[in-house]
Amino acid sequence: MSTTFADFKLSAPLLEALEERNMKRPTSVQQDAIPVIQSGRNALVESPTGTGKTLAYLLPLIDKVEADTKELQVLVLAPTHELVMQIAREAEPLLAKKGATVVPIIGGVDVKRQVERLKKRPALIAATPGRLLELIEQRKVKVHTVKAVVVDEADRLLDEGFSRPVQDVLKRTMRDTQRLFFSATLSEQVVQLASALAAEPVVIRSAAPENTAGVAHMYLVSDPRKKADTLRRLLRLVNARASIVFVNQIDKVEEITAKLTYHHLPCRLLHRDASKEERAHTLQQFRNGAFPVLITTDVAARGLDIPGVECIVHYDPAPDADTYIHRSGRTGRMGRAGLVFSIVTPQELFIVRKFAKQTGLSIVEKAMSYGALVDPSDLRKKNSGRVHKKGRFRTK
């Protein structure tokens, strides 16, 4: 097993780029995936969020890029605008060391401007599948020279909403094009779907870093009418430098944002109805620490690597266990510590218990008392043991 990036025999420019970022030792998924990708084999790779999956495929693929050809050589497909832009930002300095470029392709923006950028003859394109397919059909992007295709967040890109354009893109590449599927969760159904699109893939399931500081998963039970107040008290108690709160409905995002702002707790909202520019600006401000709380729908749940997020709150339960994992994975990145809270009504308790069983995570109940998180049973014992004192507490 490799202990440094130099052990992979990466080219000097890439090692120099890693050295500039003070990165010397690969994570578990990088140790497992890089040699397989270097060998040219197809692969299905599962690894927890925040473990370095993006570099696990970018390093070996960019290492093979031939800048002199000025041909498109690598495609990376991702489900959201934000993830596409993040991948492009990660790839840009690595490609620059090789004298090559990257172009992000996303929907909802001026097609003519994207076509103009394609004249730079990028070696790598990061794209959402729908817009990329549109440009391929218009013959603005030619994929016959592509040596490798990465399907990032594969569990989502192979579901009903994205599967057709992803398959159409893959069909337009050459038969011997390397095909790589990456995700934090690879169900057997996804493995079967991906295996039908890639010949004899290697299945890699990597563990979280052994030196992880740990992510604590907890839940608080709240009356439905008091959820917003419970959230406000929790955020004040935790006092994290950066927290992300997930809700399921856009109208609820605006309501919660208004309530937190009223109580002088700086926050911003992020959802699909916002323009691409608004979303990008909000995320950049959050990264820069302009405000400590981001309220969002699942638009931000997948793939986004925002350093320093210390706390995740599921204001509404995730729709399924996989989404719970992806949301929660915005904290505890690269082995750091993190806090994950679910605020549930008594009627929603079964959901948390189901997630704990399906994921194998220990999700423990907590209550807030006098500015601290306590075990609810201890709180109940304390309350039941109270006796009237100086007329303050009276019993009948």
**224 closest CA partner among 356, 67, 381, 346:** 346
pLDDT of amino acid 369: 80
Give the domains, in start order, of the chain with CATH numbers: 5-205 (3.40.50.300), 215-365 (3.40.50.300)
For residue 217, report the phi and psi dihedrals to the nearest 5 degrees. -105, 125
**197 closest CA partner among 178, 211, 183, 225:** 178
Please list the ranges in the chain whose pLDDT falls under 50.
1, 211-212, 387-396
Residue 225 CB partners (closer than 8 Å, separation 6+): none
pLDDT of amino acid 211: 46
pTM of the model: 0.71
pLDDT tens figures, 47-63: 877 778 999 999 999 99
pLDDT of amino acid 208: 64
Q: How far is CA 109 from the centre of its chain?
A: 23
CA dihedral 189, 192, 196, 199 (to 10 degrees): 140
Q: Residue 213 carries which side chain, given as an amino acid letter?
A: A
Token pair 């295996």 is found at 195
Percentages helix, strand, coil for the chain (3-state, rounded to 5) are 45, 20, 40
pLDDT of amino acid 297: 84
Tell me the C-alpha distance between 95 and 6, whole Å: 18
pLDDT of amino acid 88: 94
| Residue 287 token pair | 């990264």
Residue 41 DSSP one-character state: -
